[in-house]
């Protein structure tokens, strides 16, 4: 995610001031000389969550075994083809249900399509995705069941860094400083960022 200070004369060629992304992405920007490694903060981490359509009963997911049984009982399982989906495929194999899950799985290229499917889906479907994305979709016919159990959870960490060619580096540093405050952490927690 690139953040840019807007002015009334903003153009598409403007350079963003802050980059938010996984640490490996930020490292690439630093190596290329495009980001300032001296002012970098961890924003938080985002885990994988479980969702169902609004009128569905909540599946049990408190433990890895509960989650496994809920997947086996579901009519279908829906998730993306991105990093979350890659992790889930491996997880299902580790849980010993890879083949059973595969036979009832629907995958989409992105989270938006997963949310759309589940919100219009059947009561016995389980959707999986980033907790932040699920929480955003709750007003669109979804219910957030909860995060995966701790013992099988997978997190993506996000950090923020100042872009060296940004026009508002002092403001960008202030934004990064704010991201580490208690007030900001509360806002992030509400959005599903730990």
**What domains lie within the chain, and their CATH numbers?**
16-45+155-190 (no CATH), 48-152 (3.40.190.10)
How does DSSP assign 53-78, residue by residue?
Answer: ETTSPPPP-SSHHHHHHHHHHSSEEE
3 vs 71, more confident: 71
Q: How far apart are CA 105 and CA 2, in angstroms?
A: 33
For the stretch 56-71, pLDDT in tens is: 999 999 999 999 999 9
Least confident of 12-16, 22-26, 75-79, 160-164: 12-16
Please indicate, yes or no, whether the overall pTM of this predicted structure exceeds 0.85: no
With cut-offs at 50, 70 and 90, classify the pLDDT of residue 8: very low
% of the chain beyond a pLDDT of 70: 91
Q: Which two tokens stand for residue 193?
A: 């960022």
For the stretch 99-156, pLDDT in tens is: 999 999 999 998 899 999 999 988 899 999 999 889 888 888 899 999 999 999 999 8
Sheet strand arrangement including 18-21:
2-3, 18-21, 156-163, 35-46
For the stretch 28-43, pLDDT in tens is: 989 998 888 888 888 8
CA distances (Å), 36 to each of 32, 75, 105, 118, in order?
10, 49, 42, 41
Torsion angle of C-alpha atoms 50, 70, 143, 131, degrees rounded to 10: -10
Q: Are strands 125-130 and 76-80 parallel, antiparallel or unpaired?
A: parallel
pLDDT at 89 over 60: yes
The 3-state DSSP class for residue 147 equals strand
């Amino acid at each position: 995610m690139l953040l840019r200070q807007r002015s009334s004369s903003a153009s598409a060629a403007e350079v963003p001031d802050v980059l938010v992304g996984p640490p490996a992405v930020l490292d690439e920007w630093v190596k290329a000389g495009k980001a300032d490694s001296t002012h970098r903060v961890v924003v938080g981490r985002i885990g994988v969550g479980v969702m169902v359509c609004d009128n569905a009963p909540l599946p049990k997911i408190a433990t890895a075994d509960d989650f496994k049984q809920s997947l086996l009982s579901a009519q279908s399982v829906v998730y993306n083809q991105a990093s979350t989906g890659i992790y889930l495929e491996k997880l299902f194999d580790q849980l010993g249900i890879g083949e059973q899950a595969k036979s009832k799985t629907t995958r989409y290229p992105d989270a938006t399509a997963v949310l759309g499917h589940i919100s219009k889906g059947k009561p016995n479907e389980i959707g999986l995705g980033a907790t932040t994305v699920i929480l955003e979709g709750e007003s669109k016919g979804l219910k957030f069941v909860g995060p995966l159990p701790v013992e099988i959870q997978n997190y993506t960490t996000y950090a923020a860094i100042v872009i060296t060619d940004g026009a508002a580096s002092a403001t960008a540093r202030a934004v990064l400083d704010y991201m580490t405050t208690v007030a900001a952490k509360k806002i992030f927690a509400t959005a599903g960022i730990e």
